[in-house]
Amino acid sequence: MLDSAFVFAADLIRRISCPVVCHFVWAEIRDVQFSGHDRREIYFSRPPRLEKRDVLVVDAIVQSGLTQDFLLKRLQETRPRSLKLATLFDKPSERKVDLKPDYFCFDAASKYLAGYGLAGSRGWYRNVPYVGMQPRRARRLGLAGQAATRKERKR
């Protein structure tokens, strides 16, 4: 599972009735210049041995799909019996590669989700027990009723 999905994955694996082994995969994305061109490189922690195993990759959000697609191709090289992708939020309108999660919970339109393991600005809000829009982003978009409430309290 990718690290942003740890809360979702914890709830998910409680519902799986067969034996489960969990591995965390950390992705590091670097923007580099190569031969005068900007390029994005993705580095992953070393994958576990997956040969002849059923593998479910769990992530919180599939946006462009680039990271997940790259990871799935790398994992496929280890010859698992099956390889599936599950995500809490799918954003197909932002997809840059031909990738469809095998399982997803919700379609999402907002780029500013936080809570339930998803980090907001400065890494905050992972501990919030629900998914919401990041407070500052919501205020800028005119969606935060809480912002008006706070101003009224200060008077």
pLDDT-derived band at 20 (thresholds 50, 70, 90) equals very high
Residue 129 located in a structural domain: no
pLDDT band at 151 (very low <50, low <70, confident <90, very high): very low
Answer positive or negative: Cα dihedral of 88, 94, 97, 98.
Answer: positive
pLDDT digits (tens, 9 = 90+) for 111-148: 788 899 988 877 888 898 999 887 766 556 555 444 33
Q: Give the separation between CA 82 and CA 7, rounded to whole angstroms.
A: 24
Q: What is the CATH number of the domain that holds 80?
A: 3.40.50.2020
Positive or negative torsion for Cα 77, 82, 87, 92: positive
Q: What residues make up the domain containing 105?
A: 3-109
Q: Considering the domain boundaries, does residue 74 fall inside one? A: yes
Report yes or no on 136 lying in a domain: no
On whether residue 16 sits in a domain, the answer given is: yes
What integer pLDDT is reported at residue 146 of this predicted model? 45
The reply to whether 116 falls in a domain is: no
pLDDT, tens digit (0-9, with 9 covering 90-100), for 55-106: 999 999 999 998 899 899 989 999 999 999 999 999 999 999 999 999 999 9
**16 or 141, which is more confident?**
16
Flag whether 114 is in a domain.
no
Q: Please give the pLDDT value at position 83.
A: 97
pLDDT higher than 50, residue 29: yes
Q: What is the mean pLDDT of residues 19-43?
A: 81
Task: Report pLDDT for 148.
Answer: 37
Q: Does a structural domain hold residue 91? A: yes
Q: What is d(CA 4, CA 74) in angstroms, rounded to the nearest whole number? A: 19
- Is the whole model's pTM more than 0.75, yes or no? yes
Q: How confident is the model at residue 38 (pLDDT cuts 50, 70, 90)?
A: confident
Q: Rounded distance, CA 2 to CA 5, Å?
A: 6
